[in-house]
Amino acid sequence: MNHAAVFLFVVVVVLALIAIAAYFYSRERRSKLLREHFGPEYDRVVEKEKDVRRAEAAVVQNYRVAHNIAIRQDQGKASTEDLRKAVVHYRSLFDELLYDSDLERKVANR
């Protein structure tokens, strides 16, 4: 192998390591922000899901959709149907944060 090929290989490896480090840093930062925002309920959802990515997806998706509708409402752009959807998403968010299991959720919603 010539020196250019070795240099290129080293550059690719270094860039891959930087990308991996950036990915893990961003995951940790996101978890920290969610933990600060939702408090101990976030940790409970993560423990229940047994996977940080699935737990974050469940919490963040409902919050994001409902929050975006709330912002549109503040701007006077949300319809009644949009507000109904926001309530449904907020309810799903609270269910996810408050109840440990589907059985608990069903009993509480009777």
Which tens digits make up the pLDDT trace of 2-30? 888 888 889 899 999 999 899 888 888 88
Residue 65 belongs to what domain range?
A: 3-108
For residue 15, how many other CB atoms are within 10 A of its CB? 10
The whole model's pTM is what? 0.50
Separation of alpha carbons 73 and 76, rounded Å:
5
pLDDT, tens digit (0-9, with 9 covering 90-100), for 23-45: 888 888 888 887 887 777 777 77
Q: In the predicted model, what is the mean pLDDT of the chain?
A: 80
Largest CA distance in the chain: 73
User: Does residue 59 contact residue 34 with C-beta atoms inside 8 Å?
Assistant: yes
Where does 1-110 have alpha helices with state H?
3-38, 40-49, 52-74, 80-98, 102-108
Number of domains composing the chain: 1
